[in-house]
């Protein structure tokens, strides 16, 4: 009963937290209420990412040594405060401050929610359900964004602040969901060294000592930093096409539904494709999406491709990334390693968003997508070469061991 209660509350929390009615009109809001452009918006997002860089691993460590449910409560409260500050923002500095506070909330919840779900299932020996449950939770979150996007786009036409007000109301409901969660039984080790040393040791464990985990973390950092820029580039693309803001929500909602479906059903590929092959497939798809959206100028083909690139690829890849990390890491450091993964995404997003903002300002939104394709292509090729060399070395070592054993016998 305790496990089922947590599963239901985590799903409901994801639904209400992601009813962000302001998402489909955030760029028009920046333009109309603060006089800011896409480059300024990406600078605000960089402030958000910088906050995550500073707090992602410490918040994961806090979740590992404290109760996860209280971390979820605190994270929800901080995100509500960030949205309240955005309502009062009238400049880039205020917008960046609100994004930073939202970043604190996201840092506290990311990794904690996945770890809470996995630990809840593990307490009853049901960890085999994790991929399906995590995919369903992620899918519900994207469906929620989709529904809120449809409403938010039309609300903006009546009052620019209505989407923010409704977002705060749904986050208050999410706070009630977090408050009711039950802390699962898990192996929790009391800190025996300085917290900073403990966090550094765990990050080193993930990025250096365990190659499989390190590869997944690096992959997700490159991929998800790019898909985040792709998602936010949709609204400038619509602006360049001259589309009315009331339709933004409908188009972004379609993308979020596609992302929700891909996340919800990604577990159906289990056993058919390995983790590495699946991740490199979505990588190639992301490159194709960026090139296709930029080729031939602005048009509806680009709208469809950006829907796929912004959320569908993330929906396919995120549950597999999260499950791979959970499978390789113990509960005593699970949230910290998951937070390390999110940390790396934010670390790469900061320079990438700045660079793509400059490209957009100087050469247009189409050039931004060509730039993202180049970034993904070069980084993906580098990782593929690393994987090939690592596998080749492993095979050589195995062959040497086999020959040595044969010689001894």
Select the CATH number that applies to the domain covering 2-183+195-408 from these four: 1.10.287.70, 3.20.19.10, 3.20.20.70, 1.20.1250.20.
1.20.1250.20
357: confidence class by pLDDT, cuts 50, 70, 90: confident
**What is the per-residue pLDDT for 165?**
93
In degrees rounded to 5, what are phi and psi of residue 90? Answer: -135, 10
State the burial class of residue 395 (Cβ atoms within 10 Å of its Cβ: 0-12, 13-18, 19+).
Answer: exposed
Please tell me the total number of residues recorded for the chain in this structure: 409
DSSP label at residue 101: H
pLDDT tens profile 67-79: 788 888 999 999 9
Q: Which of residues 310 and 355 earns the better pLDDT score?
A: 355
Over residues 4-27, the mean pLDDT reads: 87
Between CA 39 and CA 31 the distance in angstroms is 11
333 has pLDDT over 50: yes
At 251, list the tokens.
């188009």
Q: How many CB atoms lie within 10 A of CB 284?
A: 12
Q: Which residue's entry shows tokens 């006089």?
A: 35
DSSP label at residue 184: P
Q: Are 255 and 306 in contact (CB under 8 A)?
A: yes
Over residues 377-404, the mean pLDDT reads: 66
84: confidence class by pLDDT, cuts 50, 70, 90: very high
194: confidence class by pLDDT, cuts 50, 70, 90: very low
> Which segments of 2-129 does DSSP mark as H helices, in order?
2-17, 26-34, 38-65, 68-88, 92-109, 112-122
Closest to 285 (Cα-Cα) out of 223, 229, 345: 223
Between CA 390 and CA 394 the distance in angstroms is 6
């Amino acid at each position: 009963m305790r496990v089922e209660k947590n599963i239901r509350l985590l799903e409901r929390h994801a639904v209400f937290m992601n009813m962000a009615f302001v998402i489909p009109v955030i760029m028009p809001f920046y333009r109309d209420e603060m006089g800011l452009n896409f480059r300024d918006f990406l600078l605000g997002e960089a402030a958000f990412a910088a906050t995550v860089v500073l707090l992602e691993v410490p918040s994961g460590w806090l979740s590992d040594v404290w109760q996860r449910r209280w971390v979820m409560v605190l994270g929800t409260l901080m995100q509500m405060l960030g949205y309240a500050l955005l309502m009062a923002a009238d400049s880039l500095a205020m917008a960046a401050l609100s994004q930073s506070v939202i970043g604190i909330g996201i840092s506290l919840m990311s990794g904690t929610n996945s770890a809470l779900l996995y630990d809840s299932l593990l307490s009853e020996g049901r960890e085999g359900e994790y991929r399906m449950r995590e995919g369903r939770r992620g899918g519900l979150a994207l469906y929620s964004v989709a529904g809120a996007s449809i409403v938010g786009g039309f609300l903006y036409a009546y009052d620019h602040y209505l989407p923010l007000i409704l977002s705060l109301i749904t986050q208050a409901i999410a706070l009630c969901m977090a408050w009711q969660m039950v802390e699962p039984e898990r192996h929790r080790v009391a800190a025996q060294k300085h917290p900073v040393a403990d966090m550094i040791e765990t990050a080193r464990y993930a990025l250096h000592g365990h190659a499989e985990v390190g590869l997944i973390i690096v992959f997700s950092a490159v991929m998800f930093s790019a898909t985040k820029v792709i998602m936010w580039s949709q609204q400038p693309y619509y602006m360049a096409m001259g589309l009315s803001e009331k339709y933004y929500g409908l188009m972004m909602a379609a993308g979020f539904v596609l992302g929700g479906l891909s996340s919800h059903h990604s577990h159906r590929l289990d056993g058919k494709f390995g983790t590495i092959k699946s991740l490199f497939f979505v990588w190639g798809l992301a490159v194709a999406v960026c090139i296709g959206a930029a080729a031939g100028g602005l048009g509806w083909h680009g709208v469809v491709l950006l829907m796929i690139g912004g959320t569908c690829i993330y929906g396919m890849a995120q549950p597999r990334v999260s499950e791979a990390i959970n499978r390789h890491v113990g509960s005593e450091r699970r949230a910290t390693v998951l937070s390390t993964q999110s940390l790396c995404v934010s670390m790469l997003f900061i320079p990438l968003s700045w660079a793509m903002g400059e490209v957009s300002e100087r050469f247009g939104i189409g050039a931004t997508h060509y730039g993202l394709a180049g970034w993904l292509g070069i980084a993906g090729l580098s990782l593929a070469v690393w994987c090939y060399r690592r596998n080749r070395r492993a095979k050589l070592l195995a062959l040497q061991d086999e020959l040595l054993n044969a010689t001894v016998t």
